[in-house]
Amino acid sequence: MPISDTSRSKRQKTTQEESRAGGESLQPSEAADVLVSRNIDAISAEWFWGEHISKRRPLLIRGHLQDSDWMAALWTKEYLQSKAVRQLKSCMQQSIA
């Protein structure tokens, strides 16, 4: 996913300003111009930290955690719509009361 020259120059200007102010840059590294994707099964915490978090590089993670407490497998379009409708009805009932 390429980043436009305008976005890049704005990011560089902000980074330079933060450096002059003595603050740490919170901007993505230049390597963020390329979006990397990886299956969750191929990611270790150490690799993720070393290659992405510490270098402020985005990562598109494919798949989801295989943890019994992580309920993302339920997050189908139908499931999320039903939850959203239920929440909306609850909010509407509270505003009427």
Average pLDDT over residues 13-17: 49
pLDDT of residue 46: 95
Domain regions of the chain by residue span: 1-63, 67-97
| Residue type for position 32 | A
* Rounded average pLDDT over 89-93: 85
Query: Does this model's pTM top 0.75?
Result: no
Q: How far apart are CA 35 and CA 24, in angstroms?
A: 23
pLDDT of residue 66: 77
pLDDT in tens, 36-89: 899 999 999 999 999 999 998 999 999 877 777 878 778 899 999 999 998 888
In b/e form, how buried is each residue of 86-97, taking b as 16+ CB within 10 angstroms? eeeeeeeeeeee
Predicted local confidence at residue 60, as pLDDT: 92
